Amino acid sequence: MIFTVAIDGPAAAGKGTISRAVADAFGFAHLDTGALYRAVGAMGGDPVLAARNLVPEDLVRDDLRTLGAGQAASRVAVIPEVRAALLDFQRRFARRAGGAVLDGRDIGTVICPEAEVKLFVTASAQVRAHRRWLELGGDAAQVLAEVRERDDRDMNRADAPLKPATDAVMLDTSDLAVAAAIDRAVAVVRARLDLALRG
């Protein structure tokens, strides 16, 4: 069975945690598409060449979760040739047999507009910056400034800007505990999956 769950949202909204939990709950494969861009950004050199030569081993580097890798990802993600090089990889993963969950910033709008489920996970910039600060440390004001800078870059890039798909279910995690956010996402996916199985 082919069943795609597209989960989009800004940095530190909780989409990665929710995506992994949804994949586990239903036995679906999971792809953190941000890791593709983080890997390309972390490699340095020519980002287009790096994107074209990306291999699965590049996605398990130890430095992909750093703030620097996130900023590098956001910078290379605005390059149309990088996005094009990674597009087929993501689409093939999304339509694999057995179900797939992909999280990123343009999954429901560009990568998988035909996804059976689309979620847009968000939270206020202040909440997201606090989460990132708890994860990485540093100067709290600087982390907030970087979150806002990244939001601006991601939402206003010419190619595939961050925005919810018109048919996405919105999930604001600002005031939700992790377990509650996961429960809501799982409930949405279960309802759509049940419909697909009955259809």
Are 28 and 98 spatial neighbours (Cβ–Cβ below 8 Å)? yes
Strand partners, 7: 103, 119
Contact 150, 70 (CB under 8 A): yes
Cα(13)–Cα(95) distance, rounded to whole angstroms?
A: 25
Binding site feature residues: 9-17
The span from the CA of 132 to the CA of 149, in Å, is: 14
In this structure, which amino acid lies at residue 30? H
Residue type, 155: M
Binding residues for ATP: 9-17
Q: Is 8 exposed, middle or buried (0-12, 13-18, 19+ CB in 10 A)?
A: buried
E strand intervals along the chain: 4-8, 29-32, 100-104, 117-122, 169-172
Tokens 């996804």 map to which residue? 115
